[in-house]
Amino acid sequence: WTLLRGRSNRFQPMKEMFVEISGEDAFLDTNSPQYRALVFLAEQDPLKLNPNDPILSKQIIQRYVLSVLYFSTNGPSWKHRVYWLTGQHECGWQYVICSDVQEENNNTTDAGKTKRQKVGLTSDKFNPENMDDDFSDFADSDLGLGKGRIITGLKLFDNGLAGNSLPLELVELKYLHILDLGSNNLVGTIETYFSQFTHMRELYLNKNEFHGRIDANMTKGLTKLKVLSLGHNFLTDQVK
């Protein structure tokens, strides 16, 4: 690879970081969701996050995954997308749910005293109502960067998402507790990579246009799953 003339000094190290997630081929097409997400983060993101700062790597990856999802599902036509792809912390992007916790030696600890209830990622007492989905409060606060705010939910129900497949990059959001993509216009197959969401409690993919067979391995790793909603698609051999 060579740096393109006029690119910021963040472009190449970010590209190398994202190739580890998406593979090199994802960036051959400059119109791909991955390439567009790279351009946003390296060239357009007002935060100008430094990819060489290890403290910020998790935040950069979170913003990358959300940006790929946005571009993969026709984000500009979503019904609601307040603060998406802006300089606000990604925990302030509309319908993104975060827990104010951080990983430390494979455990979870508070990232600091705030008014929000802390949700331990390893707790079995998970309750979506305890998680923050008030994006305006996040967006208007000085959250700081790289302080362990981890995405634990996406509630994009009936929001106009449309696309031929869900991006594999979603698996980088390792601590998702709830993913609600119901009542959208998503097509394609439901991939077995969902089995990697080992913290998932609620998964809603209902009322889309998914088709094909449901692989039994899809739920193999979802030992904490309480709700799985796949109805009103075009699926066969549905998981029970």
Q: 74 CB contacts (<8 Å, ≥6 apart)? A: 160, 161, 162, 163
Which of 11-20, 57-66, 148-157, 174-183 has the weakest average pLDDT? 148-157
**Main-chain dihedrals φ then ψ at residue 13, nearest 5 degrees:** -65, -35
Which of 2-6, 77-81, 89-93 has the weakest average pLDDT? 2-6
Rounded Cα distance between 90 and 60, Å, is 10
The reported pTM is 0.82
Which of 112-121, 135-144, 169-178 has the weakest average pLDDT? 112-121
Which of 45-49, 56-60, 175-179, 187-191 has the weakest average pLDDT? 187-191
Quick one: pLDDT at residue 216? 78
**Main-chain dihedrals φ then ψ at residue 162, nearest 5 degrees:** -145, 135
Q: 139 CB contacts (<8 Å, ≥6 apart)? A: 82, 83, 88, 89, 92
Average pLDDT over residues 100-124: 40
* End-to-end CA separation in angstroms for the chain: 47
Which of 74-83, 128-137, 147-156, 208-217 has the weakest average pLDDT? 128-137
**Main-chain dihedrals φ then ψ at residue 70, nearest 5 degrees:** -60, -50
Q: DSSP labels for 81-150?
A: -TTTTSSS-GGGSTTEEEEEEEEETTEEEE-S--SSPP--TT-S---GGGSB--HHHHHTS---SSS-EE
HSE (CB half, 13 Å, CA atoms) of 220?
A: 9
